[in-house]
Amino acid sequence: MDKELLKAARGVLDNAYVKYSDFHVAAAIRLKDGNIITGVNVENASYGLSNCAERTALFTTYTQGYRKEDIKELVLTTKKDYLVSPCGACRQVMSELILPDIDIHMVDSNDNVTSMKNKALIPLAFSEEDL
């Protein structure tokens, strides 16, 4: 796992807008051109309108003109001392916006790392072939 990528994610962790849960999450995406794009979770009083860190980082990546072929790896971190993995909505979005064999690293506050391929996070994901 890219230590600079983890540092970038931790560098924005306090920017999470978590007024209701106090559950900080940050994500960072390393692109093949070397750039890093970060994202944090942003809550809303209407919980369904909140956005997770992974989706924030991915949507920013796409907004800047990058696509799934440009993504090298993603790291996700929290202030918790236990493993936190992407929620189901994020897994579904990741299955479409990140190539299947890209490494997803989940890092707790004690630097314990769990890494998985993107395709392992949501087997049998709904895809364009299902439409």
Domains of the chain: 3-130 (3.40.140.10)
Mean pLDDT of 33-46: 98
Write the pLDDT tens digit of every residue in 80-104.
Answer: 999 999 999 999 999 999 999 999 9
Q: Could you give the CA distance from residue 34 to residue 26 in angstroms, rounded to a whole number?
A: 19
Mean pLDDT of 55-71: 98
Residues 6+ apart with CB under 8 A from 35: none
Tell me, what's the pLDDT at 27?
Answer: 98
Bigger pLDDT: 44 or 129?
Answer: 44
Q: Could you give the CA distance from residue 83 to residue 88 in angstroms, rounded to a whole number?
A: 15
Q: Known catalytic residue: 54?
A: yes
Put simply, whether the predicted model's pTM sits higher than 0.85 gets the answer yes
Q: What are phi and psi of 26, to 5 degrees?
A: -135, 150
Write the pLDDT tens digit of every residue in 48-61.
Answer: 999 999 999 999 99
Give the model's confidence band at 1: pLDDT under 50 very low, under 70 low, under 90 confident, else very high. Answer: confident
Neighbours of 35 (CB within 10 A): 13
Task: Report CA torsion sign: 82, 89, 102, 118.
Answer: positive
Catalytic residue among 4, 43, 54, 129: 54
